[in-house]
Amino acid sequence: MTVPSQKTAMTPAVRMGLSIAFATGLYGISFGALSVAAGLTVWQTQVLSLLMFTGGSQFAFIGVIAGGGSGAAAVGAATLLGVRNAVYGMQMQRLLSPRGWRRSVIAQLTIDESAATALAQESPDEQRRGFWTAGIGVFVFWNAFTLAGALLGDALGDPRRFGLDGAAVAAFLGLLWPRLRGREPIALALACGLVTALAVPLVPPGLPILLAAAVGAVWGWLRPAPDAPREAA
Amino acid sequence: MSLWTAIVLAGLATLATKLAGYAVPERWLRSPRMHRVAGALTVALLASLTVMNTVASGQALMLDARLAALAVAALALWWRAPFLLVVVLGALAAALVRML
């Protein structure tokens, strides 16, 4: 993706971040509604979205509670699903090199959407803008819609009816797309997609993406040094 | 363990996990080899997220309206549609297939 020198606030990274933030944030409605249905109070639901703030882990937590599981099991499932955020953290550390208090804020905002938006950009400025827009945007929308969902219950219906799950698929493919130049990244993407699909039914939730990450890391490690023509990030 | 205790513990555990990634010394990540690892890792993570969001339904594989979203998004990207349009088309495709 070539990013022309834009002086306006609405750079491509900001636009990407905002569209992802809104589409993802709307999912907060279903989280809020499901959480209250699982037996959590509105406050408990809101604290999950504010403090945990990583969708997969939050759904896992209330899923275990709804299924009658123990608190310890819920903590375990949520933590396991959040391990990928540490992998994102290492990547963001390299792109954004945060210092001091910013590091804690950036860490809390490190989730699928903010990391993916940052990683999809070429220039350091755009990476930074992408991360902050998606991170803060998802945080605001996710928490606002969590509250709405918790208060309204499931009166609003399933967000999948509006194709929001399709929006997420399209967004992640849109972030991956510019990286698929040349045979090698395409082969790697296909391999990692296959590993993910094969792993989903076999291992606990949260592990498939870590297996794909391991494949990517080994691939990059073993790749010969000289022919690295256009590797921006 | 009370529900509140579990909520706070789980929240702190996920925050600690996020912080752990940033605790890796930066100079470890600066070598040319780590640069290549990071590039490959990016493609791996984005590909995995795409597939996960397309076919995973909890711990099961499910082929449904999301496949249409993936196909329509790929076509739109092939025709160089802007990002926001791609996302909207993905949502429309999934919603339409579900309505049928």
Instruction: Please check whether residue B40 is in contact with residue A219, taking contact to mean a CB–CB distance below 8 angstroms.
Output: yes
Answer yes or no: do A216 and B45 touch at CB < 8 A.
yes
| SS3 state of residue B56 | strand
Give A228's pLDDT tier (boundaries 50, 70, 90).
Answer: very low
Answer yes or no: do A174 and B73 touch at CB < 8 A.
yes
Per-residue pLDDT reduced to its tens digit, A56-113: 899 889 888 887 888 888 898 889 888 889 999 999 998 998 988 999 999 999 999 9
Interface residue A54 vs chain B (CB under 8 A): yes
Q: What is the domain partition of chain A in residue ranges?
A: 12-179, 181-233
Answer yes or no: do A169 and B72 touch at CB < 8 A.
no
Interface residue A157 vs chain B (CB under 8 A): no
Q: Which residues of B touch A67 (CB under 8 A)?
A: none
Give A2's pLDDT tier (boundaries 50, 70, 90).
Answer: very low
The predicted model gives A6-10 an average pLDDT of: 64
Residue of A nearest to B84 (CA): A19
DSSP letters, chain A, are -------SS--HHHHHHHHHHHHHHHHHHHHHHHHHHTT--HHHHHHIIIII--HHHHHHHHHHHHTT--HHHHHHHHHHHHTHHHHHHHHHHHHH---THHHHHHHHT-SHHHHHHHHT-SSHHHHHHHHHHHHHHHHHHHHHHHHHHHHHGGGG--GGGGTHHHHHHHHHHHHHGGG--SHHHHHHHHHHHHHHHHHTTTS-TTHHHHHHHHHHHHHHHHS-SS---S---
State how far the Cα of B81 lies from the Cα of B85, in Å rounded to an integer.
6
Per-residue pLDDT reduced to its tens digit, A191-216: 999 999 999 999 887 788 889 999 99
The predicted model gives A136-149 an average pLDDT of: 96
Which pLDDT score is estimated for A1?
45
To the nearest whole Å, the CA of A6 is away from the closest chain B CA by: 16
Structure ipTM over 0.85, yes or no: yes
A3-7, A111-115, A157-161, B87-91: segment of lowest average pLDDT: A3-7
A15, A108, A192 member nearest B44 (Cβ): A192
Answer yes or no: do A216 and B44 touch at CB < 8 A.
yes
DSSP letters, A154-174, are GGG--GGGGTHHHHHHHHHHH
DSSP 8-state symbol, B29: G
Give A11's pLDDT tier (boundaries 50, 70, 90).
Answer: very high
To the nearest whole Å, the CA of B28 is away from the closest chain A CA by: 10
Which pLDDT score is estimated for A118?
96
Answer yes or no: do B40 and A219 touch at CB < 8 A.
yes
| Ranges A34-43, A173-182, A187-196, B24-33, most confident | A187-196
A54-68, A115-129, B46-60: segment of lowest average pLDDT: A54-68
Reply yes or no on whether the pLDDT at A225 is more than 70: no
